[in-house]
Structure 1
Amino acid sequence: MTWDPTTIALALAALPALNGLVNLFLLRAPDGPAPAGTLVSILIPARDEAANIGACLEAALAQQGVDIEVVVMDDGSTDGTPDIVGAIAARDPRVRLIAAPPLPEGWSGKMHACAQLGAAACGTHLLFIDADVRLAPGAAAGLAGHAVGHGLGLVSAVPRQRIETIGEGLTVPIINLLLLGYLPGGGRAFTRLPGFAAGCGQMMMVARDAYAATGGHGAVRTTLHDGLKLTRLLRTRGWRTEMVAGADLAACRMYRGFGESWRGFLKNAREGMATPLGLPVWTVVLAGAHLWPFALLPAGAAWLALALVFALRAAVTLRSGEPAWTIVLHPAAVVVALAIQWTALARVLTGRKEGWKGRSYAAPEPS
């Protein structure tokens, strides 16, 4: 075989297509009922979430098949968040509202809120969700049953992402594309290595004994990316973790519009691909598969490469329950993703702080 540019582009496209095919086959919905005696603590850190928290709580309280409690941590909100939660708690004793103590030095805001929620919870299983997540009625029972039935310390899923603007369509779908196209095993439990771990901070259930034994969010207190760091921690300590299909478990609208999406992904990129050693490799891998073939047209191998990457994107999009119209944005979405990563790396290297909901976070150490 001659490794000319078109052949290299085809190989770079075939790698995620094959890996994605395997991962889509392996990806399963959670199975098994929650055993008797299970209590799921649904834990919600909330900072200025007046627009979301009411609907989030109503969906959480509609859970079926398992006993639940719902604990909301008001993390210094300046809007009506605590009033909305308090009104719901007054009519449903399963809801508790607690206030976050001042943020200690060396903690990120969400990790501190989650740690406080974990300490306040009474459940056998701790289901951490974001305030913009809307759980389906069987989500808590399904996740708990799957965790117990498969001996998992942590089980997580990416909710079905509600995407309503072009700006969101250019950013949000990259989550599932990277998870299913580029992570061997897609976060399933048989991939026991910590480096193959995956989780989604939007919806993550941890068994109480695993959480206590590993130190939970307190052990990853500086991170902004608990979906990755907490899952890797558990695997390092010998606990099994798994990603399951999330499209039928919950829905979430992460961001509203391009500006908010850019800022949110920029914050998270600092602990993901945006490293001095990793990002050049990721740029070659992503641009080589998803963008370079356009420059090599009309070569037959370039057409085949594009067919593979669009087939992958279409399969992931449909399986994830994301809007089909986002598929045509795929090349631009890859450009935006790489632009976010390089911007994040530049800010890390210059020590720039990122802000989110009124807090600033120092750049992590470059690695």
Structure 2
Amino acid sequence: MLLYLSAACLALGGLYAVVTFVNLVVFRAPPRVNGGQGARVSILIPARDEASNIAAALDCVLAQQDVEMEVVVLDDGSTDGTDEIVAARAASDPRVRLIRGKPLPAGWNGKQHACHQLANEARHPSLLFLDADVRLAPDAAARMQVYMSIRDLSLVSGFPRQITRTLSEMIVIPQILVLLLGYLPFPMARLSNEPGLAAGCGQLMMVDAAAYRVAGGHEAFRNRMHDGLNLPRNVRRTGGRTDILDATPLASCRMYDNWPDIWTGFSKNATEGMAKPVALPVWTVLLFGGHILPPVVALVALLLGAPDAARAALWATGLVFLARTLLAVKVRQHPLSVILHPVGVAVTLWIQWAALIGARKGQRAEWRGRTYDVN
């Protein structure tokens, strides 16, 4: 029995490691810009109660180089003075515009409605949707635009370097890229324009304005939570090409800074990703069998004197931790996220199963003071 378990561990852990090794080779940051590119970009920031973030976000955005840009911030019913901060900046810098969000219509998700309004206000041919907690490097917009041009893309996105300071952040947040680079084969996703192979990050997403409109924009998934999945997939469905780049040198973000926000943030759109009745059992086998079970089987096999089983399980454990370490080095994750990797996988599965069970019971997702139905 132990030998069969260790063989399964080696197969599942090896799958993750091999896909990660391949993806790390092709997962690259865009080339540096030498100046004079002439890109015209509308940087679009939805903001709801972002008084603690918006000034720093605007500082970084307004420092962009080698692009002609406008910065449009939509205040989505803030009560903390976000609008006043943006209005003051707009009064001193003509590149900044503040628009007041309209009341949220029935059937719309708050962020999708905000981004829809922002896109309607945009004047430039490239749209860069940016969350207010993201801090751009000075050459970020120009490099993303050049990457789109070189690869003939309609949309490109990337995960900013995730700032993690508390233990819960270090354990959970790095799992986003563990899943992306461990289970989405990038070479295949680039060769095929299959919508199911599309993925993205709503924190930092640049899209050609014409392709955005053909795909129906954010209105096409007005009642959905996960813009990072839905917009790239819709762009592919309407003939555009999409890709994900390594945004580690382009931007940084502290996504959540406490456990309740991590739980709520990861739960709110779980049922649009992993937490589906058919998909989640498969993900559980892949993640539990490939990341948590190998060290357990190795320990049990060593204690019971089963060297062949122990050897296979140790190989699986070593491959997973090697791939995990290389990923952490590339995207600058905290070393504790590697050491506690099996814990991170276990917590991720816990959140996903809780979201699925909650959805089956009719629970609603909560975010930014609003509640939404989930399916």
- Confirm or deny a common fold (TM above 0.5): yes
Mapped partners of 1:315, 1:168: distance in 2: 19
Q: Extract unaligned runs of 5+ from structure 1.
A: none
Q: Residue 266 of structure 2 aligns to which amino acid in structure 1?
A: F
> Aligned residues, how many?
363
Deviation at 1:266, TM superposition (A): 0.8
Give 1:24's aligned residue: 24
**Secondary structure of the structure 1 residue equivalent to 2:202:** coil
Q: Residue 331 of structure 2 aligns to which amino acid in structure 1?
A: S
Give 2:307's aligned residue: none
> 1:77-127 CA distances to partner (integer Å, 9 max, x unpaired)?
010100111111111110000011011111100000000000001111000
Deviation at 1:149, TM superposition (A): 2.1
> 1:146-170 CA distances to partner (integer Å, 9 max, x unpaired)?
1122211101010000001001112
Give 1:89's aligned residue: 90
Give 1:15's aligned residue: 15
Give 1:181's aligned residue: 182
**Secondary structure of the structure 1 residue equivalent to 2:340:** helix
Mapped partners of 2:124, 2:188: distance in 1: 25
Structural mapping, 1:94-105, within 5 Å:
94-105=95-106
Give 1:300's aligned residue: 311
**Secondary structure of the structure 1 residue equivalent to 2:108:** coil
Mapped partners of 1:4, 1:323: distance in 2: 34
Residue 146 of structure 2 corresponds to residue 135 of structure 1: no
Q: Residue 196 of structure 1 aligns to which amino acid in structure 2?
A: L
Give the alignment's TM-score, normalised by structure 1: 0.96
| Percent of pairs with identical residues | 50
Q: Residue 15 of structure 2 aligns to which amino acid in structure 1?
A: L
Q: Residue 331 of structure 1 aligns to which amino acid in structure 2?
A: P
**Secondary structure of the structure 1 residue equivalent to 2:269:** helix
Deviation at 1:187, TM superposition (A): 8.2
Residue 358 of structure 2 corresponds to residue 357 of structure 1: no
Structural mapping, 1:245-256, within 5 Å:
245-256=246-257
2:69·2:95 contact (CA, 8 Å) conserved in 1?
yes
> 1:200-251 CA distances to partner (integer Å, 9 max, x unpaired)?
0000000011011111111111111011011011111110001011100000
**Secondary structure of the structure 1 residue equivalent to 2:41:** strand
Residue 282 of structure 2 corresponds to residue 271 of structure 1: no
Mapped partners of 1:59, 1:175: distance in 2: 25
Structural mapping, 1:47-126, within 5 Å:
47-126=48-127
Give 2:352's aligned residue: 341
Mapped partners of 1:31, 1:218: distance in 2: 33
Deviation at 1:325, TM superposition (A): 2.5
Mapped partners of 2:352, 2:111: distance in 1: 22
Give 2:4's aligned residue: 4
Mapped partners of 1:87, 1:66: distance in 2: 23
**Secondary structure of the structure 2 residue equivalent to 1:170:** helix
The CA RMSD over aligned residues, in Å, is: 1.5
Runs of 4+ in 1 over 6 A off after TM superposition: none
Q: Extract unaligned runs of 5+ from structure 2.
A: 303-309
